[in-house]
Structure 1
Amino acid sequence: MKAILKNYNSIILLLIGITVGSLIGLLFPDWVTYIKPIGDIFLNLLFVAVIPLLFFAIASAIANIESNNKLGKILGVMSFVFISTIAIAAILTIAGLWVFPVTAVKESADVAETLSTNANDTWGDKIVRFLSVGEFVNLLSRQNILAFVIFSFLVGLSVRKSGEAGKPFLSFLIAGNEVMKNLLTIIMQLGPIGLGAYFAYQVQSLGPELFGFYAKPLAFYYIFGLVFFFVVFSFYALLANGRKGMKDYWRANITPSLTALSTCSSLATLPANLLAAGKMGIPNYISSVVIPLGNTLYKNGSSISSILKIYVAFAILEWNFFEPSTLILAVGITLLVSIVAGGIPNGGFIGEMLMISIYGIPNEAVPAIMIIGALVDPLATVLNATGDTVAAMLVTKLSKEKFILSEEEQAV
């Protein structure tokens, strides 16, 4: 029990902060004027930290990848599996929300009016604006994160091509990545206070109906997530290695699942996943590549929560989520959040930054979706972590490699 409380300490503190903030918003609304600046400071710290964090995380990851011919093939198949299955998770979530819609909460008019749009932009203008900027200094704005992600990726590629001459710069990137991860960890320690303060503001502004609104998306996530966990992962295992693959997957996946649920950490689940991969018959040269990279880059739970958070933001602001252009961008954001931001602590917050940048979502809607992201974290971790082994099974199948028989099966 003590271990579980320790592992869920941050979520418990966050819940306490939200509860206290809610009570202040309900019982002492006059205090909100003095409390809201604390939430604003917390959000601003996140906004400031996210740009250097993204640069070091992406550039160092790309620069560190090493490959030979066989590894290159595995990486290519792995990339296809990661991208396609994350997109499938996003599309299935959209379909689920279409069938089981979440009732919107009416947001205050002043928030909705803060939307900044470019209605006269052509699609070409939008693509240019999303993917690039005209001045280097503009890359440092959180309004241009997509362009910044691409720039960081290209820097990582350039370091790889620089060989020995680029080694000092690679060391700088690795050190910077570690420093920025620790910075975000420090900032997130203020989360219970910062989000609690902002939640007080939301409760005071929106009223008690806010709680009914949160209950529905949370219920949707846990019900949908459990169905996805058992049905979709079973289908992937069946596709990879038939009935035997599905049986082996669930027999070996119990320990990783319990580890993910009890630790709320994908990284802590990595050793259990590597051990389980052998029991699933995944060749070691595949599992040793796919599972560690998947631990950082492959996030089914984050894919589902990303779509849900975008939907929630649109529901709060009474915007139409199911417009084709909105759905296409939502899937694109989900791919970025699940893959690019997967290795960053609290990387889900990158999704909020992308949403603000692309959709022009007012800052006032961000804490609501941040809170949802935190509350779905236990199941999201299970989906994120245990998806790595089933992805490795798919990579084995699509790479036309053979599954390894267990010692018992070899003796028969």
Structure 2
Amino acid sequence: MLLPNTPSPALPVPLYRQTYVQVLVAIALGAVLGHFFPAFAEQMKPLGDAFIKLVKMVIAPVIFLTVVTGIAGMPHLNAVGRVVLKAMAYFLVFSTLALVVGMVVANVVRPGAGLNIDAASLSTTEIATYASKAHDMSLTHFLLDIIPDTVFGAFTSGNILQVLLLAVLFGISLTLAGERSKPVIAFFEAMTAPVFKLVHILMKAAPIGAFGAIAFTIGRYGIGSLQNLMYLVATFYFTALLFVIVVLGTVARLTGFSIFQLLRYLKAELLLVLGTSSSEAALPSLMEKMERAGCDKSVVGLVVPTGYSFNLDGTNIYMTLAALFIAQATNTPLSLGEQVALLLVAMVSSKGAAGVTGAGFVTLAATLSVVPSLPVAGMALILGVDRFMSECRSLTNFVGNAVATIVVARWEGALDRDALSATLASGGADQATSAVEAPAE
């Protein structure tokens, strides 16, 4: 979003003041601290947690203001339904494709083959919490949880979909109210500027948050913890990279842009997601950058928050790959029918992951419980390295939602293709108001 009356800088921002460089340095320092001083590094966890809480604090107002003002600016209300339907169609197709890709790679590479682990010997103590959460992930529970208990409860629950539902309904009501709603719309539009300025301020702490999160991860689990399960981790990263470059890259090319230019444009946000293992940490910045790249404000406001719950490509790849890894490691044969059933259940359970802490692991527990022969206790095999795979899940989810926003905007005829080409070609370097690269005032 280009804020009014914001002058462009005469000189480019120095490299050392660009947050993506600072985050990269912080990640490296955190990894070094975690490796050589693990006990001390574990104490850095509050830094990462605090930063994520700061960002989550502003997610609700960012989504609410963006969606309400976007819908109020639409000429016809049927445009809202049209955008949502197109977005959901896209999410369904590519989320399912991600599940299929994970399943195919797992059957071809077979990362768990040869481990010959007796499922009865595995401890279920550590996974009991995740398994219990999985019982709350039914479709009915998920749908009812979208409705907040109160209007203000939507802003305090931490559930993105509750804020989105309230924003859509309120935006529609403002449109139906006609002329009488203009002062309210003007107020919300005026509120948008300081809220995004607040986002800019909070992003200054991104390097600190990334440092704390990565230091804790390496200090707690150690780089050596990857050795025994390196094949699974490497397979997952390879599959996610394959999905981004081949599948999303093809979609990007058909839409008229390069996936590599998009990744370059979002480099600061991607590093932030890598450092914090949370795609939510970069949600406000993603919305702002998508608008700057030529996507209509109303489309961004509807697609991005919805995609964070319904378009989890990385989580979907992880679920089928991890499920088949457990089956292979415990020598549990799965027929084609059982694998298809696993895939169908994963399509539903992944949607119930919205707002659940440790969503990838929780949804895996819910999915495994559907196939009786598949030992849920096998999750203990990957618990130690799940934290390392969560970064890849978050990165893939983030890129998938960025691509989805541009695609839906083009389908809706709400994409300024000239702005998209110019912004991606420059890598956003000429934009002074970036949420993560703005110079200090």
Superposition TM-score tier, normalisation by shorter sequence: 0.5 to 0.7
Output the CA distance in 2 between the equivalents of 1:132 and 1:126.
10
**What TM-score results when the alignment is normalised by the length of structure 2?**
0.57
Alignment match of 1:203 (pick from 218, 221, 237): 218
Equivalence for 1:41: 50
Tell whether the 8 Å contact from 1:310 to 1:355 is kept in structure 2 after alignment.
no
1:409 alignment partner in structure 2: none
User: What CA distance in whole angstroms lies between the structure 1 residues aligned with 2:396 and 2:91?
Assistant: 17
Q: 2:34 & 2:250 partners in 1: Cα distance?
A: 41
The alpha-carbon distance between structure 1 residues 45 and 90, as it changes in their structure 2 partners (threshold 3 A), is same
Question: What residue in structure 1 maps to residue 196 of structure 2?
Answer: 181
Matched, 1:221 2:227: no
What percent identity do the matched residue pairs reach?
A: 16
1:30-179 aligned within 5 A? 30-67=39-76, 79-101=84-106, 113=129, 117=133, 119=135, 124-128=140-144, 130-179=145-194
Say whether the 8 Å CA contact 2:54–2:202 is kept in structure 1: yes
Letter in 2 for 1:263: Y
- Shift of the 357–261 alpha-carbon distance from structure 1 to 2, 3 Å rule, reads closer
**Aligned-residue CA RMSD in angstroms?**
5.0
Counterparts in 2 of 1:219 and 1:42: CA distance versus 1, 3 Å? same
User: Higher relative contact order by CA 8 Å / sep ≥ 6: 1 or 2?
Assistant: 2
Show the counterpart of 2:355: 354
Aligned equivalents of 1:4, 1:149: Cα separation in 2: 35
Paired with 2:48 and 2:153, the residues of 1 have a C-alpha distance of 26
Relative distance call for 1:22 and 1:174 in structure 2 (3 A) is same
Distance 1:305 1:124 in 2: 19
Secondary structure, counterpart of 2:170 in structure 1 = helix
CA deviation after TM superposition for structure 1 residue 156, in Å: 1.0
Single out whichever of 199-208 and 87-96 deviates more from structure 2.
199-208
121 and 293 in structure 1: CA distance in 2 versus 1, 3 angstrom threshold? closer
Q: Is the alpha carbon distance of 1:315 and 1:47 closer, same or farther for their aligned partners in structure 2, counting shifts above 3 Å?
A: farther
Shift in Å, 1:162: 1.5
Question: Structure 2 vs 1, CA of residues 63 and 373 (structure 1 numbering), >3 Å: closer, same or farther?
Answer: farther
More helix by share: 1
Q: 1:183-231: CA deviations, max 9, x gaps?
A: 2333233222212212221222222145946654443222222221455
Q: Secondary structure of 2:149's match?
A: coil
CA contact (8 A) 1:259 1:268 kept: no
1:194 matched residue in structure 2: 209
| 2:313 counterpart of 1:307 | yes
Map of 1:29 onto structure 2: 38
Number of residues of Structure 1 aligned to a counterpart in Structure 2: 332
Q: Which runs of 5 or more residues in structure 2 are unaligned?
A: 1-10, 113-121, 267-288, 328-338, 364-383, 416-441
Which amino acid in the other structure matches residue 265 of structure 2? T
Contact 2:95–2:347 (8 Å) recurs in 1? no
323-332 or 168-177, larger mean C-alpha shift: 323-332
> Which amino acid letter does the alignment assign opposite residue 167 of structure 1?
K
2:407 is matched with 387
1:60, CA displacement in angstroms?
2.0
Deviation at 1:307, TM superposition (A): 2.4
Gaps of 5+ in 1: 238-248, 271-289, 334-352, 396-412
Within 5 Å, which residues of 2 pair with 1:401-412?
none
In the alignment, is the contact (CA less than 8 A) between 2:49 and 2:213 conserved in 1? yes
2:274 alignment partner in structure 1: none
Task: Give the secondary structure class of the aligned counterpart of 1:162.
Answer: helix
Give 1:313 deviation, angstroms. Answer: 8.6
